[in-house]
Amino acid sequence: MNLTLDIGNTSIKWATFEGKTLKDSGRWTMGDTAANSFQNEWNKLKEDCEQEIACASGDISTLGITPTLLNHHTPLPIKLNYRTPETLGADRVASACGAWALNPGKDTLIIDAGTCITVDFLSSEGIYHGGAIMPGLKINLQALHTFTAKLPLVSFNRETNVPLLGRTTEESILAGTLGATMLALAGFVTAYRQRCPSLQVVLTGGDADQLLAAGNNGWDYQPHLTLIGLNEILINLHK
């Protein structure tokens, strides 16, 4: 089996695959688990897997795990048309590979709603062309609180019902943050569809559920997109 890990700023998501079939998955939350516990879980997974790969947003040296890390030298099942591949986030690359596995031969826009929100374009020829990076929901909420004198720090959760029209300061902040984000993303989709009418849109990331709750846009929600892409990279490496 293959083991893939998406090591983010607040959590580690993992999945095991038999060929292209996802067999199991899980999440470890940063801060809630000691480094030796990470190592114990890692060792258990490694026992059943023949090869592994990870994408990491930050330093993993203190976590007690030693996966092979995706970098700009790793052979890929897609081509990169990016001026600075050495600065391109490994998670963006892995998600593009996942989108190609799910939608081969189709123009695809990948929206990853994490700490930052990325919007990336993968052409029908399997070429990654780049995209956009914008602040995520939590960053925007934190910025409003940090750079103003009176606005409180509020947060989203899975039960948050965000109104279009806020009738309290807290509701207004949530409505503005989510509304601005959704309008920005809808604008990106519209602009790309003007160039690629048959565009597929794939949504992933930790805040994807909040975006989905804001309205059904016909986007394909794939919570394991990055992990699927990492598995495709492993398969490509061992053809």
* CATH code, 127: 3.30.420.40
Mean predicted confidence (pLDDT) in 191-198: 96
Which has more confidence, 27 or 203? 203
Residue 58 three-state SS: coil
Torsion of CA 37, 38, 40, 42, to 10 degrees: 170
Q: Which of 6, 91, 107, 207 is catalytic?
A: 91
**How much of the chain exceeds pLDDT 90, in percent?**
70
Residue 49 near residue 2 (C-beta atoms within 8 A): yes
Asked whether the CA dihedral 47, 52, 54, 59 is positive or negative, the reply is positive
State residue 86's pLDDT score: 95
* 216 falls within a domain: yes
* 74 falls within a domain: yes
* 77 falls within a domain: yes
C-alpha triplet 9, 74, 19: angle, nearest 5°? 85
Domain that holds residue 96: 2-136+176-237
State residue 111's pLDDT score: 97
* 24 falls within a domain: yes
* 166 falls within a domain: no
* Mean confidence (pLDDT) of the chain: 90
Q: Is 91 a catalytic residue?
A: yes
Q: Is the pLDDT of residue 39 over 80?
A: no
* 142 falls within a domain: no
Q: For the chain, how many structural domains are there in total? A: 1
State residue 41's pLDDT score: 80
Q: Is the pLDDT of residue 53 over 60?
A: yes
Residue 134 near residue 117 (C-beta atoms within 8 A): yes
When pLDDT is cut at 50, 70 and 90, the band that residue 31 belongs to is low
State residue 156's pLDDT score: 84
* 146 falls within a domain: no
Residue positions counted in the chain? 239
Residue 41 near residue 56 (C-beta atoms within 8 A): no
* 150 falls within a domain: no
Q: Return the exposure string of 56-85: e unless at least 16 CB atoms fall within 10 Å of the residue's CB, then b.
A: bbeebeebbbebeebeeebebbbeeebeee
Q: Is the pLDDT of residue 25 over 90?
A: yes
State residue 59's pLDDT score: 74
Rg (CA), the chain: 19
Least confident of 66-75, 98-107, 196-205, 218-227: 66-75
C-alpha triplet 232, 55, 187: angle, nearest 5°? 85
